[in-house]
A and B are shown apart, each in its own frame.
Chain A
Amino acid sequence: MDKRKDYPDHPVILKAKELADAIKQSDAFKEKNMEKLQSLIIECNQIITETTKINYGAVCQPRSGCCG
């Protein structure tokens, strides 16, 4: 049985869309400056981890084995 859930209207998903659009609007993204983009992404990850107290990078690693 597929345990995967869909969350199309979930506030977290809606905010994720806005976040992705904001990254796409950033200078780093438009300039294709990978160094600037990477440091922006690291900073975003740090903000999420600090606010939620959850290691966002570890949880969302494709094969972290975290939490099943």
Chain B
Amino acid sequence: MDKEMEKIIKRKMEKLIVNQKSPKIKTKEFAKAIVDSNEYSSFMKYNKELKDSQTAQDLLRQFQQKQMELQRNGFDPDTLEELKDLQMKINQNDTIQDFIKSQQELVGLLREANNLVNRRIGMQFAFFQGGGCCG
């Protein structure tokens, strides 16, 4: 093989190696691994169930309203009692509890992965640009 051809092949191989190591390609693979994970599937499943459950939505809305009422009007034993009652119903609602558990598991995994990247590159990887957490 002549030297010129050898050089061309070497350059192509180097380019290929660089591409394989590209952070953007690795980011896409990382994101795909998240989407393919059991934690993500569970979260998506229970997130949908929560959105579709009228009972769960009503409970969460009532709880938020009572919380706001308590903040607005100050301490009131009756409102506090109602709030405790709603909290108990939330704790007993399977749809809400399944959602919370799946969310905690997914967030735990993502934070673990993010901490690992932080440690390895020596700086914060997650970049917060505002907005809510999930969905």
Contacts and interface: CB of A to CB of B under 8 A. Distances in A.
Interface size band for A = 35 or more
Given A25-B21, A55-B132, A18 B26 contact: yes
Contact of A7 (B27, B112, B117, B126): B112
The A interface is mostly helix, strand or loop, or mixed, namely: helix
B114 interface: yes
B32 interface: yes
Nearest to A60: B126
B34 A52 contact: yes
B59 interface: no
Interface size band for B = 35 or more
Interface in B76-108: 100, 103-108
B129 interface: yes
A42 B127 contact: yes
A66 B133 contact: yes
Contacts of B33: 11-12, 14-15
Given A3-B104, A21-B21, A23-B121, 20 more contacts: A12-B30, A15-B26, A16-B30, A18-B26, A22-B23, A22-B25, A25-B23, A29-B121, A45-B129, A48-B31, A51-B28, A57-B127, A57-B129, A59-B110, A59-B134, A60-B110, A61-B126, A61-B128, A66-B133, A68-B107
